[in-house]
Structure 1
Amino acid sequence: MSSSKKILIIDDELSLLKIMGKFLQKMGHSSITAENGRKGISLFGDDPSSFDAVFIDYNLPELSSHEIVKELRSLNSEIKVILSTGFAVDDISKEFDQIGINGTLQKPFAFNDFKQIIEQL
């Protein structure tokens, strides 16, 4: 198994935060969760180099996922970003071409879908 990763999860669905956190724990990784972009940016900003990746829900209130990605990348340009979404993944990938994301996770997802993304990080 690869080394343990620390992942920030930003999603406004509390049930998904719990599920994704449990999936990561099951895989031997740690997670920190935030229910909105501002909290996620704040948690990330405490120690930007300590995170291996960030999962961001595409459709969040207040700050857009674009704004969140730009802010996180200003703090750590190397951070890997995965967008989770219920929308068409191809459309979202094209939309993020300029700022670049490292992957997308289509909702609803199964453990194996999630695990495959984590293993690619």
Structure 2
Amino acid sequence: SKEAVDIFRDRHRDITVVLLDMLMPKMSGKETYLEIKKIDPNLKVLFSSGFKQDERVEEVLQLGVQGFVQKPYTLQVLSKAIQQAIQSNDF
């Protein structure tokens, strides 16, 4: 959302990975992703949704997102996804 972009703009030097939901208030997950990547093109981003992986998810994955985590997820699943995103060489 807009608030997330504002926070990221102020603190992006301290942030390595961002987890975005596909549906957020005021801005879609995709719009938020595009805005934060303008600030830091090297940022690692994961998406999450309660919906199954569909064409919207495929679309953001093609933009360069490091992964998708299906809700509900466990801490173990999220931790593994974050670790893989950090180790990824994709930008």
TM-score, structure 2 as length reference: 0.83
Q: Is 1:62 the counterpart of 2:26 in the alignment?
A: yes
SS of the residue corresponding to residue 82 of structure 1 reads: strand
Please list every run of 5 or more consecutive structure 1 residues that lacks an aligned counterpart in the other structure: 1-36
Query: Is 1:105 the equivalent of 2:85?
Result: no
1:73 is aligned to: 37
1:84 and 2:48 equivalent?
Answer: yes
Of residues 111-120 and 101-110 in structure 1, the stretch that sits farther from structure 2 once superposed is 111-120
* In structure 2, C-alpha distance between the alignment counterparts of 1:106 and 1:91, rounded to whole Å: 14
Give the letter for the 1:81 counterpart.
Answer: V
Unaligned runs of 5+ in 2: 87-91
Per-residue CA deviation, residues 13-65 of structure 1 (Å, 9 max, x unaligned), is: xxxxxxxxxxxxxxxxxxxxxxxx11111110013222101001111121011
Where does residue 4 of structure 2 map in the other structure?
A: 40
Higher strand share: 1
How many residues align? The count is 85
TM-aligned CA deviation for residue 97 of structure 1: 4.0
Q: CA deviation at 1:98?
A: 4.2
What is the percentage of aligned positions where both structures have the same residue?
27
Q: For the aligned residues, what is the CA RMSD?
A: 1.5
CA distance in 2 between counterparts of 1:92 and 1:80 reads: 19
Shift of 1:93: 3.7
- The higher-RCO structure (CA 8 Å, 6+ apart) is 2
For 2:89, the equivalent position in structure 1 comes to none
After TM superposition, what 4+ stretches of structure 1 lie above 3 angstroms from structure 2? Answer: 90-93
- Bigger CA radius of gyration: 1
> Distance between the aligned counterparts of 2:61 and 2:74, measured in 1?
26
> How far off its partner does 1:100 sit?
1.6
Distance between the aligned counterparts of 2:27 and 2:8, measured in 1? 15
